[in-house]
């Protein structure tokens, strides 16, 4: 199948939760180990390995996804109104590198649909985060206020690189200030996704983190995606994900931790695919991680497999010793 058809097929399969409950029990997908318990941004997680935003954009698949052993699930981006997104093809695989280029263009069924799905979900054993997007501070703030009662944390998405024209200037810090002014005390239950472009400008990166700390934002998400030309995509350009960006994501997390100086927790994202990667992210300063490309390439056992390796090392390996632990796993 093409990547786009595979994506649609996976969605269709996960709409039926009963088979995934049976598979979870048969395959031991939920690793129930007290050593993996993690607290991030005020939320208790059963383990530090989550599913990143982008797979379940409309909060339609939570019953099935909750069976797969993730420590949390991030839905979205939830957009104010229904959007078609960019033209197909939207996904290109690079299997030998376990990487993907995407040009989704934030397709969405709209905020009312997603909120209704979140209201009606039956399974609540796995924490749910909601990535909320929009093209103005008002839109994002309205989305946060609508979604927050039904999730554990809101992830503020300040931009999507696939909807910006080349050379377009985006003032992400002004947008963030506008959002924070409008949500008042709700910042305590929100984390901010640092735009990938911002991580490449040290002064902007540091300033954005200071804004978050001053406003009492609960946490940060830091990744390493970058735009790449790709003629196989309908737009001819997309964002790179997967193993190709892990080193950049790791460096960005380390820099974020340096700017934050322990004042705000960090969720690492970008190319994580093994227990060694999770420990490396922790050494760099992340409290937890989320992944997506590894779910594509390794399948529904990815969280279980990582957590089984991680359990003996997670609580005993602090930032100073994670290098050795990660090296042992990698070897």
Strand positions, DSSP E, 54-193: 73-78, 91-94, 99-102, 128-132, 153-157, 190-193
Average pLDDT on 158-180 reads: 73
Top pLDDT among 136 and 330 is at 136
DSSP 163-198: GSPTT----HHHHHHHHHHHHGGGGGGEEEE--TTG
Residue 261 tokens, joined: 């100086």
User: For 147-167, what is each residue's pLDDT tens digit?
Assistant: 999 999 999 998 644 455 555
Residues 322/275, Cβ–Cβ less than 8 Å: no
pLDDT greater than 50 at residue 322: no
Q: How many beta carbons lie within 10 A of that of residue 191, not counting itself?
A: 26
* 136 CA to centre of own chain: 21
| Residue 253 to residues 98, 100, 160, Cα–Cα distance (Å) | 21, 21, 19
User: For 185-198, what is each residue's pLDDT tens digit?
Assistant: 777 889 999 999 89
> What pLDDT, on the 0 to 100 scale, is given for residue 170?
74
Q: Which domains does the chain have, with CATH numbers?
A: 3-330 (3.20.20.70)
> What pLDDT, on the 0 to 100 scale, is given for residue 163?
53
pLDDT-derived band at 214, boundaries 50, 70, 90: very high
> What pLDDT, on the 0 to 100 scale, is given for residue 135?
87
Burial, 135: exposed, middle or buried (Cβ in 10 Å; 0-12, 13-18, 19+)?
middle
What global pTM score does this model have? 0.91
> pLDDT above 90 covers what percent of the chain?
84
Of 260, 141, 154, nearest to 208 by C-alpha is: 260
Q: Half-sphere exposure (CA, 13 Å, Cβ side) for 311?
A: 13
Of 23, 104, 4, 99, nearest to 58 by C-alpha is: 104
User: For 239-286, what is each residue's pLDDT tens digit?
Assistant: 999 999 999 999 999 999 999 999 999 999 999 999 999 999 999 999
pLDDT greater than 80 at residue 49: yes
| Residue 264 to residues 24, 71, 239, 258, Cα–Cα distance (Å) | 34, 20, 27, 11
Top pLDDT among 73 and 326 is at 73
pLDDT greater than 90 at residue 125: no
> What pLDDT, on the 0 to 100 scale, is given for residue 186?
79
Average pLDDT value for the chain: 90
């Amino acid at each position: 199948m093409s990547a786009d058809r595979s994506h649609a097929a996976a969605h269709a399969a996960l709409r039926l939760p009963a088979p995934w409950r049976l598979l979870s029990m048969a395959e031991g997908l939920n690793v129930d180990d007290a050593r993996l318990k993690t607290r991030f941004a005020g939320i208790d997680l059963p383990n530090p390995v989550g599913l990143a935003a982008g797979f379940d954009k409309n909060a339609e698949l939570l019953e099935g996804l909750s069976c797969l052993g993730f420590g949390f699930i991030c839905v979205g981006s939830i957009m104010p109104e229904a959007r078609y997104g960019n033209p197909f093809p939207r996904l290109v695989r690079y299997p030998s590198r376990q990487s993907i280029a995407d040009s989704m263009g934030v397709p969405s069924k709209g905020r009312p649909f997603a909120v209704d799905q979140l209201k009606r979900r039956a399974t609540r054993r796995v924490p749910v985060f909601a990535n909320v997007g929009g093209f103005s501070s008002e839109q994002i703030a309205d989305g946060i206020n609508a979604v927050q009662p039904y999730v554990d944390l809101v992830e503020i998405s300040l931009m999507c690189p696939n909807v910006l024209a080349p050379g377009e200037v985006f003032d992400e810090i002004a947008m963030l200030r506008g959002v924070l002014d409008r949500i008042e005390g709700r910042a305590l239950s929100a984390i901010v996704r640092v735009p990938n472009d911002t991580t490449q400008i040290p002064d902007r990166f540091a300033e954005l983190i200071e804004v978050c700390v001053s406003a009492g934002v609960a946490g940060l998400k830091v990744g390493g995606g970058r735009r790449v030309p790709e003629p196989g995509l309908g737009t001819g350009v997309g964002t790179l994900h997967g193993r190709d960006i892990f080193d950049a994501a790791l460096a960005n997390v380390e820099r974020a931790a340096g700017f934050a100086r322990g004042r705000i927790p960090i969720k690492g994202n970008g190319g994580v695919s093994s227990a060694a990667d999770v420990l490396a992210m922790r050494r760099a300063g992340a409290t937890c991680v989320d992944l997506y490309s590894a779910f594509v390439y390794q399948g529904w056992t990815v969280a279980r497999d990582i957590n089984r390796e991680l359990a003996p090392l997670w609580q005993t390996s602090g930032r100073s010793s994670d290098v050795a632990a990660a090296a042992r796993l990698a070897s």
